[in-house]
Structure 1
Amino acid sequence: MIDFLYHSILIGIGATAVFDLWGLFLRYAFGLPGANWGLVGRWFCHLAGGTVYHEDIAKARPFAYERAWGWIGHYAVGILFAAILLAVVPSNWLQQPTLIPALIVGLVTVGAGWFLLQPGMGAGIAASRRPNANRIRALNIAGHIVFGLGLYASALLIR
């Protein structure tokens, strides 16, 4: 169990860092805005209090240290997704990681954003309430593919 937690933490942090580097690349190469970790932190803080869905998270009651909570929640979710990967792959996957399971988990996890985070923050299912919903969806898919690649790369690094 300790090995499972240890590997989940290392792989989750590594994959989330790869995801964040992708976001930086998009920001500096194409001028795309980065994630607003303060508002994500606000959502996590309200979630801890039992409120999942907001009409507009920007209008919800603020909390101290929202940005820090957003970053902590972001990496905690990455660790959780890595644990899910390790729970569903064969036990020898860590000795010889393969790309396909990591990519599948990366793609499946886009659903958490589309059906929980985005509606919870007021953006609607799969950002349907945003004027650029299709662009957001494409970027979500690309980002989660990169996250899947990060899961695989991190597993290769720690094996």
Structure 2
Amino acid sequence: MPGLAAQILVVGVCATVVMDLWAVLLRRVFGIVPLDFAMVGRWLGHMPAGRFAHAGIGRATPIPAEKALGWFAHYAIGVAFAAGLIALAGRHWLAAPTLPPALAFGVLTVVMPFFIMQPALGAGIAASKTPHPKQARLRSLLTHGVFGVGLYAGGRLVHALAGMLALV
């Protein structure tokens, strides 16, 4: 199998894709509108000018290519979280992935939106300034749990690819 960085990339992208598919399911079945990653791009785009928090990111001045920047950041964060899981669980987790550490780590990643992104985008700590904070928190927890399942799926994919490459 390719090196550790490639394995982390596969796990992180896989986990993020699983989370995105979950968002598509929620939208189609329940009409729940997912986070607009253009707003993440807008938030990041304002950082070089020293603006790290907004009262409402939707009212902030748009930046060029904010949607692309937001989607890139979304996947980069997924890969960074995969690296975090593997750093904590150990490289041996990739040789025999198990669900509990991936799921636990996925749920723990909810700290990022609760205490960094939501406040910085104007939604308050743990979505406290949204119209339905409890629903928003539950959705975030579920989504990050799904991300954890995606981390496990990515680990299984890396494990399967390693087995197939060993046969070649």
**Would you call these one fold, judging by a TM-score over 0.5?**
yes
Does the Cα contact within 8 Å between 1:4 and 1:86 map onto a contact in 2? no
Residues 20-29 or 53-62, more deviating: 53-62
Deviation at 1:156, TM superposition (A): 0.2
Q: Name the amino acid aligned to 1:68.
A: A
Whether the 8 Å contact between 1:9 and 1:79 is mirrored in structure 2 is: yes
Q: How do 1:4-153 residues align onto structure 2 when only pairs under 5 Å count?
A: 4-153=4-153
The residue type equivalent to 2:107 in the other structure is L
C-alpha separation in 1, matches of 2:33 and 2:4? 35
Amino acid of the structure 1 residue aligned with 2:108:
V
**Conserved 8 A contact 1:54-1:121:** yes
Cα deviation 1:22-69 (Å, max 9, x = unaligned): 000000011111221111110121234442211111121210111111
**Correspondence for 2:166:** none
> Per the alignment, in what secondary structure is the counterpart of residue 61 of structure 1?
coil
Greater Rg, structure 1 or structure 2? 2
Contiguous gaps of at least 5 residues in structure 2: 160-168
The letter of the residue matching 2:70 is G
Paired with 1:3 and 1:50, the residues of 2 have a C-alpha distance of 37
1:14, 1:154 within 8 Å by CA — same for their partners in 2?
A: yes
TM-score, length-normalised on structure 2?
A: 0.90
For residues 48 and 146 of structure 1, the distance between their equivalents in structure 2, rounded to whole angstroms, comes to: 32
Between the two proteins, the alignment pairs up a number of residues equal to 158
- Which portions of structure 1, spanning 4 or more consecutive aligned residues, are displaced by more than 4 angstroms? none
Alignment correspondent of 2:162 = none
Q: 1:24 is matched by which residue type in structure 2?
A: V
| CA offset digits 1:138-159 (Å, max 9, x no partner) | 0000000000000001110111
What is the aligned-residue RMSD (CA, Å)? 1.2
Distance in 2 of aligned mates of 1:49 and 1:156:
42
Q: 1:6 to 1:48 in 2, by over 3 A?
A: farther
Instruction: Please tell me the residue identity of whatever aligns with 2:65.
Output: Y
**Aligned partners of 1:142, 1:48: CA distance in 2, in Å?**
32
TM-score, with normalisation over the residues of structure 1? 0.95
Which digits, 9 at most, give the CA deviation of each residue in 1:58-98, with x for residues without a partner? 12121011111110010000000000001111321111001
Q: What's the % identity of the aligned pairs?
A: 42
